[in-house]
Amino acid sequence: MLLSVQKIFVENFRNIKPLPIEFAPFINVVFGKNGNGKTNILEAIHLLFKKKSFKKNTGFSQILSYDNEDPFVSIKAAISTTEGLQNLSLRISRDKTEHLLNGKKSKTIRNGTTLFIGPFDSGPFFLGAGERRELIDELICETNDDYKKILKKYFVALRFRNILLQKKPVKYHEQIKAINLQMGEYSFFLHFARNQYVENLNKYLTETYKQLFSDEINLKIQYSPTLPLGRSAEEISKIFATSVEKDEKVCHTTVGPHRDDYIVLFNNYNAVEFCSLGQQKMAYLSILFGHLDLVLEQHDLKPIILIDDISGELDSVRWLNLINFLSKRRQQIIITTANEAFKDALNTIQHAKSIFVSSGEIYTT
């Protein structure tokens, strides 16, 4: 499914002026000096589709324009889909969020989503297992609604189990036994889905890296769960039961999908330990673009790609390779940069559109 934003109009959102912004169906280059609002355009699009910012700990007061008179944020867009032109809107106030599709309440456009790639995202990804889990969970959830539901149920059960371990109320062992059965079922499902996703993604990573950076590297991800793979739901429940004594001492659940990890292997070496920051950045980009190829082949989806000023993280040879790679993708890409040379190189792509941003004002060419 080809998806693209034709036009977007925002009100009271950060420093962006209330003027329509029009986009081309494929490459869009958002150019301007740092601090003028380039990233805010990407954030508005991401917020419209996912109803959350890609910036952590961002609430209503952070996105509200500082000089507005009315306490609300509005984002409206005309979206081109294979089913025709659709109107998507999001209105946020302090106590209410309203999401409309063609004037009717809706979660979002069916199969409509975005993928955000930030300039510093690879750092946290390689520093912590939690960040790796969070990213992989988000990628799986894009095309697997059942995974999203089970993951939510697992964390509800986990929170309740941890409360029991901390407060130890009367007869809490009986409650933990019941929760262990639930978590066994949820863990079995999550294990299978995560392992299957990684196996499918690995089919694309080495070739994607080669296409992106013209280098022969064997790149893959190894799923590293805290519970043994291949166990039944009942067997996993028993593992939770045997861990109760240890969990009681530390007052939290020490095993389960919430503590799983993913090891990125770069020519069979752990990328966390053996790769430079530049190599980690390239591996991270390959994982994201490999995911895009995976969802295209398996689900016929083409998310809108939002790329925020990553040219500074790559040398000129590598970002030229990236530009060549992007030029061949037939999906909407909106990329920001403050780098004149990078902007000029992007604009050599046929039908690329330039959007200049200065103090929240938008100028198109």
* The pLDDT of residue 111: 62
* The pLDDT of residue 82: 82
How far apart CA 131 and CA 120 sit, in angstroms, is 13
| The two three-digit tokens of residue 121, written as one number | 């995202």
Phi and psi angles of residue 169, each rounded to the nearest 5 degrees, phi first: -70, 175
Beta bridge partners of 84: 81
With CA atoms as reference, report the closest residue to 124 among 111, 116, 133, 115: 133
**CA separation (Å) from 322 to 60, 67, 140, 257, 353?**
35, 38, 25, 34, 17
* The pLDDT of residue 334: 95
How far apart CA 212 and CA 163 sit, in angstroms, is 47
Residue extents of the structural domains in the chain: 4-113+301-364, 130-272
CATH-assigned architecture of domain 130-272:
Up-down Bundle (1.20)
Q: Would you say domain 4-113+301-364 falls under CATH 2.60.370.10?
A: no
How far apart CA 6 and CA 4 sit, in angstroms, is 6
Grouped pLDDT means (10 residues each) for the chain, 365 residues: 88 90 94 92 93 85 75 92 89 89 78 86 94 96 92 98 95 95 97 97 96 93 95 97 96 97 98 92 95 91 91 76 87 92 87 92 84
* The pLDDT of residue 365: 72
* The pLDDT of residue 313: 67
SS3 285: helix
1 touches 302 (CB < 8 A): yes
**CA separation (Å) from 230 to 59, 340, 350?**
41, 52, 49
Q: Which residue has the tokens 């890609």?
A: 54
With CA atoms as reference, report the closest residue to 306 among 135, 30, 114: 114
How far apart CA 190 and CA 186 sit, in angstroms, is 6
pTM: 0.92
